Amino acid sequence: MSIIIWCIYTAITLVAVVFLGLREFHMLQLNGYKTPEHSWWMKKNFKRYIPLCILLVLQLVLIYTDPVIWRPEKHVFIPLLHTLTLITLGILSLCNIGIALKNKPGKKFKKPFKYTPRVKRMLVTFFVLIALIMGLGLLTSEFSYVYEVGDDVRHRELPFLTNTAPFMITGAALYLTPILVPLSNLINKPIETCINNWYINDAKKKLKSMPDLHKVGITGSYGKTSMKFYLSELLSSQYETLKTPESFNTPMGVTITIRRDLRPTHQYFVCEMGARRVGEIKELCQIADPHDGIITSVGPQHLETFGSIENVAKTKFELADYISALGKVYLNYDNEIIREKSADYPKAITYGVTEGSDYRGSDVTVSDRGTEFTVTTPEGESCRFSTKLLGEHSVQNLLGAIAYAHGTGIPLEKLVLPVRRIAAVPHRLQLLEKGNGLTFIDDAYNSNPSGAKAALAVLELFDACRILVTPGMVELGAKQEELNFEFGRQAAKACDYIILVGKEQTKPIYNGIKDAGFDMEKVFVEDGLNEALAKISACHSDKKKIVLLENDLPDNY
């Protein structure tokens, strides 16, 4: 009977282990396979692990309901399946079924789990650990007890699975799964490092085989992806150009792009460089070996991993430090921190609308149809540009792209048409007409304080019923509550209705809105994005509705 119960309990537990394990591996993947970041994420999201801790404690009850009972009057151990033991196992089995159902595959994610070769290798390690734990459980399934009868010491073999140890250890495999997942990553780290190094070295060899290829590195707290797209568009009007796709701004993302997409015919390689820690831009420079660099911004982004704004600035300027004396560094002079640090780089070329910029934008006019501005070069040459991009802040990145493209020898006049053709980067102030009097401004990609303020300024351009849908900003460290509070105050001045996504996450925004004296009857707080979008119909107005989607938190938030 015991072996049948154990088999049923093990089968249920294994299903729960597989489903929970895959969900945890998905979160690890979203955290970039970085164990420290994943550990921090687990700590921040500790509530999701409370049920597992409770079940682990409940399982310890089995220790005290072990069915091997001492009968001192007969000087023997009698194997006996307690009713309490069976009840406990039944409860644990139902809980394990609940864990399996909660984590079962099929749920739609914004960024689906990808079964990459690395994930497959970690899964092998993970299931080896699970097998070892359950194997240990089987080893404890048959005990020998020593007991005394008078002056004799006797030895008694107990039947298979007459104790609770196998059940406890099998259950532990499930409750330890959140720990076993990052442990699998740590165990595999030497292997992954060797594999990654081989790919990286292969990418470096490919770059060295193309001495005429010009490489441009782009980094910044924000704006780097937009700059990459804009610059690629302008360079492509004259040169064969390759850019890193989407957000391929990590060492392996850059490596994959080089090995997979780079061809001998390419003349320019535009490489986006992202970082969450000091030293990561330097690491990317050692792979891509850029001739030139562009730093778009320095701001309070990823402060939870950087620790301070000084570390952010230090990391972004690793790109400028890497560029040789023969290369060029382009700096956004509108950014206060960059402007202060530019004095340390006298050969740098600056751009912006600020007085003193080498490439200066002026006479900026903005409307809900686009933006116009004039560019003046260091030599005094001027040209008028127009773009479909929304907002004055878009001029900054366009100025940087124009400055670099002009520096390659493309006349300003020949850049006018490519600039006019530039479309909004997906999820970055992208205007989407939905019909029925409804328009979306999709600015859902990884919001930051500067970008959120600029997005609200764009929203104010429209003569419409202005609606903000946002979950707020994250990864801002100790300043997160303060910056979200200020975001709420800014939103109160720009919006007619505000829909917040997530009750806990958006409390500082809510307080900021309230502090600004906004009509709180026009503020809605919903649990998820779908519920928030459904609430748009409750925003009553005779005007056309325009909805700003400001940030969309990834699945691990």
pLDDT tens digits for range 380-422: 999 999 999 988 888 999 999 999 999 999 999 999 999 999 9
Instruction: Give the tens place of pLDDT for each residue, 347-392.
Output: 999 999 999 999 999 999 988 788 999 999 999 999 999 999 988 8
The answer on pLDDT for 447 being more than 90 is no
Mean pLDDT to the nearest integer, 491-507 = 92
The answer on pLDDT for 503 being more than 60 is yes
Mean pLDDT to the nearest integer, 79-99 = 75
pLDDT of residue 125: 97
Picking from 64-73, 121-130, 131-140, which range would have the lowest pLDDT averaged per residue? 64-73
- Going by pLDDT thresholds of 50, 70 and 90, the confidence category of residue 297 is very high
Mean pLDDT to the nearest integer, 72-94 = 63
- Going by pLDDT thresholds of 50, 70 and 90, the confidence category of residue 69 is very low
The answer for residues whose C-beta is within 8 angstroms of residue 272's C-beta and 6 or more apart is: 218, 219, 224, 225, 228, 243, 244, 247, 248, 249
The answer for residues whose C-beta is within 8 angstroms of residue 31's C-beta and 6 or more apart is: 37, 38, 41, 556
The answer on pLDDT for 432 being more than 50 is yes
- Going by pLDDT thresholds of 50, 70 and 90, the confidence category of residue 505 is confident
Mean pLDDT to the nearest integer, 294-307 = 87
CB 254 within 8 A of CB 261: no
Mean pLDDT to the nearest integer, 27-36 = 88
CB 548 within 8 A of CB 456: yes
pLDDT of residue 399: 97
- Going by pLDDT thresholds of 50, 70 and 90, the confidence category of residue 2 is low
Compute the distance between CA of residue 281 and CA of residue 251 in angstroms, rounded to an integer: 9
CB 63 within 8 A of CB 88: no
Picking from 59-63, 227-231, 283-287, which range would have the lowest pLDDT averaged per residue? 59-63
Write down the pTM of the prediction: 0.81
CB 95 within 8 A of CB 84: no
Q: Which residues on neighbouring strands pair with residue 269, listed in sequence order?
A: 215, 242
The answer on pLDDT for 159 being more than 80 is no
Residue 463, burial from CB neighbour count under 10 angstroms (0-12, 13-18, 19+): exposed
Residue 136, burial from CB neighbour count under 10 angstroms (0-12, 13-18, 19+): middle
Compute the distance between CA of residue 446 and CA of residue 427 in angstroms, rounded to an integer: 9
The answer on pLDDT for 96 being more than 50 is yes
- Going by pLDDT thresholds of 50, 70 and 90, the confidence category of residue 139 is confident
Mean pLDDT to the nearest integer, 451-465 = 90
Cα 424-426-427 angle, rounded to 5 deg = 105
Mean pLDDT to the nearest integer, 32-36 = 86
Q: What are the CA-CA distances from residue 339 to residues 218, 344, 351, 377 (Å)?
A: 17, 10, 10, 18
Q: Which residues on neighbouring strands pair with residue 362, listed in sequence order?
A: 374
- Going by pLDDT thresholds of 50, 70 and 90, the confidence category of residue 65 is low
